[in-house]
């Protein structure tokens, strides 16, 4: 089960990183401002690489990325959008790395089986 959680988490993180790198690259091509897109690509792909190599560290980084994006964007969302728009934005921005990070952290947790009870 931990390997399934790890695979699901990595695929989710890959889709999340791929979407935002694509989105930022397309925006950079239109505006001719590449610094933000390059920074985002380095951070998201770097986080994904760390998660692949060290799932526990990557899980923490993904959760931190989620919390950071909420802190950066939620104040603006609340002023500009209604509830349903905020829900969609939450679903595509901070939720995927949060879920992926939690799954990675859960996949690294070592479960020790309970000892059998002997009835005398």
DSSP codes joined into one string, 76-106 = HHHHH--HHHHHHHHHHTTHHHHHHHHHHHH
Q: Is the pTM of this model over 0.85?
A: no
For residue 46, CA distances in Å to 5, 21, 30, 36, 61 come to 20, 12, 25, 15, 10
- Per residue in 80-117, pLDDT tens? 999 999 999 999 999 999 999 999 999 987 766 667 77
Rounded CA-CA distance 25/32 in Å is: 10
- Per residue in 20-62, pLDDT tens? 999 999 999 999 999 989 999 999 999 999 999 999 999 999 9
């Amino acid at each position: 089960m931990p390997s399934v959680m790890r695979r699901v988490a990595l695929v989710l993180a890959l889709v999340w990183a791929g979407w935002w790198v694509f989105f930022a690259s397309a925006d950079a091509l239109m505006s001719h401002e590449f610094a933000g897109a390059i920074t985002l690509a380095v951070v998201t792909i770097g986080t994904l690489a760390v998660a692949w190599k060290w799932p526990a560290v990557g899980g923490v980084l993904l959760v931190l990325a989620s919390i950071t994006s909420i802190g950066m964007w939620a104040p603006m969302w609340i002023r500009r959008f209604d509830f349903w728009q905020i829900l969609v934005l939450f679903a595509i921005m901070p939720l995927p790395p949060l879920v992926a990070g939690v799954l990675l952290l859960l996949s690294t947790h070592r479960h020790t089986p309970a000892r059998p009870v002997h009835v005398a």
